[in-house]
Structure 1
Amino acid sequence: MIIHQEALIDASPADVYEVLTDGQKFAAATGMPARLGDREGETFSIFDGRVEGRQVELVRGERIVQAWRFGAAHPSCWDAGVYSVVRFTLAAQEGGTRFVIDHTGVPAEWLEHISGGYPTFYQQPLERYFAALARS
């Protein structure tokens, strides 16, 4: 199953990329612990271990591709070896960054849950984080 969502984030693609590949900044934006880095092949754990995976492809300021799954801290951890692939595409657009999420391989029973979670766990926290930085 596929999820496709788009949002406009009031920040540069480089700044959005940095938040999505830096555990401390991701945690500051989302309010939840994260272990996340900017090296391909590196494992990650976000949202206090509820989501885990591996950085598959990283193109600074443009694209992040992750093997992604509900992790051990999620109430419904996915079976071992079950991963989906999420691709975050970042493009400069007047007013900030066009933030595109394409998530493939989502088990059918999780499609609505994950699709509904992206605004709450990604878009809105990113918007709030960059708005707070602009005010400071």
Structure 2
Amino acid sequence: MSTTIHQEVEFSATADRIYAALTDGKQFGELTGAPTEISPEAGGTFSCFGGMILGRNIELVPNQRIVQAWRVANWPEGVYSIAKFELKEQGSKTLLVFSQIGFPEEEGKHLEAGWHENYWNPLEKYAG
């Protein structure tokens, strides 16, 4: 479990809009079309995509950074990765620098594609 995912995505929206969409359960549910519960506090839990993605918010710095202990429900019990979202506002746009470590190595390709398909593409449509 030593593989890393690193992705950089630019959104046509402000950092506060992107941050809110990723940390507010109602907004995230609207952008994905799936049942979502997200605690807005560090230490709080989240459940996305009808319980397929689970975890806990480790650090929340409004409009700047989100760090989560993140897992897919069918991973072995107790296996969590660390997902880090860094938001860098650039005028009316925001650069999201994403990294994920500590996931089962065989999941890497699926996860890399999944972030684009399930997070970045819907987020661009929602926030843009």
Q: TM-score with structure 2 length normalisation? A: 0.95
Between the aligned partners of 1:96 and 1:63, the Cα distance in structure 2 is: 16
2:12 aligned residue: 10
Between the aligned partners of 1:68 and 1:61, the Cα distance in structure 2 is: 20
Structure 1 residue 95 displacement after superposition: 4.2
Structure 1 residue 37 displacement after superposition: 2.2
1:104 aligned residue: 101
Between the aligned partners of 1:68 and 1:52, the Cα distance in structure 2 is: 6
1:15-46: CA deviation from partner (whole Å, max 9, x where unpaired) = 11111111000011111111012101111100
Q: TM-score with structure 1 length normalisation? A: 0.89
**Between the two proteins, what is the percent identity of the paired residues?**
41
Structure 1 residue 55 displacement after superposition: 0.4
1:126 aligned residue: 123
Q: Which residue type is aligned with residue 96 of structure 2?
A: F
Q: What is the total number of aligned residue pairs between the two structures?
A: 126
The answer for unaligned runs of 5 or more in structure 1 is 72-76, 132-136
Task: Give secondary structure in 1 for the equivalent of 2:96.
Answer: strand
Structure 1 residue 10 displacement after superposition: 1.1
Task: Give secondary structure in 1 for the equivalent of 2:126.
Answer: helix
Between the aligned partners of 1:119 and 1:4, the Cα distance in structure 2 is: 12
Structure 1 residue 94 displacement after superposition: 3.5
1:88 aligned residue: 85
Residues 8 and 95 of structure 1 are in contact (CA less than 8 Å); yes or no, is this contact kept in structure 2?
Answer: no
The answer for unaligned runs of 5 or more in structure 2 is none
Between the aligned partners of 1:13 and 1:130, the Cα distance in structure 2 is: 10
1:57-102: CA deviation from partner (whole Å, max 9, x where unpaired) = 000000000000111xxxxx01111100000010101441101110
More strand by share: 2
1:20 aligned residue: 22
Residues 83 and 105 of structure 1 are in contact (CA less than 8 Å); yes or no, is this contact kept in structure 2?
Answer: yes
1:46 aligned residue: 48
